[in-house]
Chain A
């Protein structure tokens, strides 16, 4: 290759490279620190200006800015080799490379690095529209490569866009097969530092009363599909974490230790399900109560919660089994009892006294629990997402004065009352309920389904789930919240349990569910494709061991097969005769039949000579045909259609 013959000064090359770089960096601009975003945009504009005026940036200025940028990245991230720092740095260098690009090699380096930069954008999002973005970017990079390798630049071939699209269409089936066959690993190759990234979802602290308004987000927390049996919506308590320590204002997670091995309690398996969790940048993962065995890569803790070793920064899929656990044989140790009875001495005195008094009026713990629930049901307790803020003694304020709040207020106050009455209790945070999607046969659990409920320890029975929020009388639930989830307004009612199987109402909800089904397929089956799924279908094919070897064979076969198909296509496509050559061969065979000594290899000039010598009679008719043939072949082809028609006529007349 002679790259001097392919300079980047050809028309259209630099503007196209700038456009490609802009598209490639576009998704990163929303995630990079703003000064890096601004710098890369500035570099693009500078290159555009320099190119427009045929200028080159002085080398030393470039060097100074590069050093400043490296310093800036270091100051920003305090490191150069973390994920975010690396992406920031490579984006800047990508911009600088194009700025100083002078030759074919620089330009092709920029284009090839584009492939990698595209991938870095997927570390931030793997949503379905990123798939569309991938195709568009790939198409643009291919067009860029074609223009760069075409001697006349963008003017050279009118068909560059079409050719790139054909390339992409042919590449996609190969990609799909490789995608499913390429061996996946369940563990990272090297450990990644936790990147500071805001996560949405449930916090490990709860401070009822401090929040004036709870915003409900419709963002999806996770999706669940059940293997066979499906619990009723009111039974769907998705346990996340247990908040046991109360400092008078805020509920905290208890310091706890993982259980080694099995939870040694008798239990009965209930529901089998698979969770596909959106990244929340936290360690905790959610499961249907009760939790016993932790999924792969997670631990089971003594308070029956799961924790993941690493923060969930990528979409996570895990399968689990729900149980009915019989806690009756488990005792509560003295230490545990002190934890679950702990209340600060110096606050919420009124509630404490009230609870102690009322407990004395009831025979057993269980009766007391029921009485408190009916107390909530019968008294003026309201459910609202916009309660008044309580300055101090938040529980007293809520329980006796405002009497309005959401699940956190009720759970917090209920546990406080239980503890004051000497009953071990704890707050459980997680999600409740879920929306059924009939198009994908799964449940959607959103951030707005976040919920807090409680567990009380009843001697002889163990931990019992109590949801005080559900005890609020339906008439006292804010009107627009009614019907959101069945649990909040139906404590005393019989649960029908069929609410979620009702067909979606209204066109928009229908559309939304269909769209979510597509998204779920994308994120669950395509983006969630993992070693487990790979080994799963291999098992169905009867391959139980040496999976990687079989995958290797599969890859090899794919590549060879693709080679064969395209090799055949290449050979065939050029063997196909064009219509002009067909006519010439027709002419040759006709003349041979008439006794003219010609061979298939005889050229037009020679043929003319031979005909003149051997059959002068034919010559008059052959000569014009050969003349038309040569002008079709070797002259400009502006009127080639007419000429071809004429050639056909002339050959037919011979």
Chain B
């Protein structure tokens, strides 16, 4: 029941909060409610007024009404502290599943009043407070815990403040349009994966060529007759083509086949680890997955392409 209501509320908030790079906080997206301390102050106000009525103490009434006026004004002060702040979302760097992703954010204060204690976070309970001077901005980072590989939507963020008196909390929801690419969690494979035996054997057959045997894939129309693995065909394993690539240093071919007998997610994790290993030892490597093939290469960009392919498999 309660969770159903919470879901409904969450849906309603999402509907009201478009995903955008720059969100300016203004009266149609700022919400304000008393904090726990605010309710405490109300209780104390009632006590003061009851005591003042009972003892017919006009100084007590004065105190009570100053407290009441402060409470009233606090609504505006707190609202004003948040109003006009612009939250800028930035692209997120990919992270491995289970790791924390870093989400950079900018809070821009284009007004001429300083903003104190502006908090931003994924929930009100975990915000991080910053001060932003007038006509200035503050950069901050949020940590995002990742779980599953693939594209991850950035959860709804909240920008909140209780300044100046902690009686009211004003907040606004912000949603980033950017998605976080979560790479699979790298797990070292119990058996060596780099360069399948078969490939090395086949490579020896063409030792004199300028091309080296790289990997094996299904035969596709247009493949040269020389590429067809006739030995395998003879063993009734279907038509397979050998791939040859330019030889630049040592090279590896990481293929799905080599791990296909493991559990799918585990297999992906093994390949991820292999990619990282290969990159670390500065080798040229290619990645062959059932639907994507990434030609051999090297460098960060190449690695990220491979990891992306694995993440989205």
Contact = CB atoms under 8 A, between A and B. Distances in A.
Interface string A135-173: 000100010011011111000110100010001101110
B281 interface: no
B248 interface: no
Nearest to A635: B136
Contact of B77 (A5, A167, A182, A188): A167
A150 to B, nearest CB: 5
A157 B114 contact: yes
Interface string B151-176: 00000000010111110010000000
A576 B112 CA distance: 9
Given A116-B47, A189-B50, A179 B129 contact: no
Nearest to B166: A149
B73 A167 contact: yes
B51 interface: yes
B125 A578 contact: no
B124 A2 contact: yes
A149 B48 contact: no
Contact of A150 (B35, B67, B111, B163): B163
Contacts of A634: 108, 137
A115 B65 contact: no
Contact of A126 (B59, B83, B116, B163): B59
A527 B169 contact: no
Contacts of A113: 44
Contacts, number: 204
Given A184-B56, A563-B72, A570-B83, A122 B77 contact: no
Interface in B55-98: 55-70, 72-73, 75-77, 79-80, 83-84
Nearest to A113: B44
Contacts of B169: 1
Interface in B94-150: 108, 110-114, 116-117, 119, 121, 124-131, 133-137
A508 interface: no
A559 B72 contact: yes
Nearest to A567: B76
Nearest to B43: A112
Contacts of A105: 36-37
A73 B102 CA distance: 57
Given A119-B52, A171-B69, A314 B57 contact: yes
Contacts of A573: 80, 113
A126 B56 contact: no
Given A179-B62, A184-B56, A115 B44 contact: yes
Interface residues of B, number: 71
Contact of B48 (A119, A157, A188, A190): A119
B53 interface: yes
Contacts of B125: 2
Nearest to A173: B69
B81 to A, nearest CB: 10
Q: In which size bucket is the chain A interface?
A: 35 or more
Contacts of B84: 574
B9 interface: no
A175 B62 contact: yes
Contacts of A448: none
Interface string A509-530: 0000000000000000011111
B126 A2 contact: yes
A65 interface: no
Contacts of A339: none
Nearest to B125: A2
B63 A119 contact: yes
A108 interface: yes
A566 B75 CA distance: 9
Given A2-B119, A108-B37, A171-B66, A184 B53 contact: yes
Given A119-B52, A145-B165, A570-B83, A170 B73 contact: yes
A138 B66 contact: yes
A581 interface: yes
Given A142-B165, A150-B117, A637 B136 contact: yes
A389 interface: no
B41 interface: yes
B65 A178 contact: yes
Contact of B165 (A149, A182, A580, A640): A149
A632 B112 CA distance: 13
A274 B269 CA distance: 93
Nearest to A5: B129
Nearest to B118: A151
B73 A566 contact: yes
A579 to B, nearest CB: 9
A170 B72 CA distance: 10
Contacts of A217: none
Contacts of B41: 112, 115
A146 B163 contact: yes
Given A119-B48, A182-B61, A527-B59, A578 B129 contact: no
B27 interface: yes
Most buried by A among B44, B63, B108: B63
Interface string B256-299: 00000000000000000000000000000000000000000000
A633 interface: yes
Contacts of A159: 114
B11 interface: no
B312 interface: no
B136 A526 contact: no
A109 interface: yes
Nearest to B114: A157
Nearest to A574: B84
A190 B55 CA distance: 9
Nearest to A126: B59
The 9 A-B residue pairs whose C-beta atoms are closest, nearest first, are: A122-B59, A171-B69, A174-B69, A175-B65, A151-B129, A178-B65, A566-B76, A574-B84, A145-B165
14 contacts: A116-B44, A116-B47, A122-B63, A131-B59, A145-B164, A148-B166, A170-B69, A175-B66, A192-B54, A566-B75, A567-B76, A570-B76, A578-B110, A581-B110
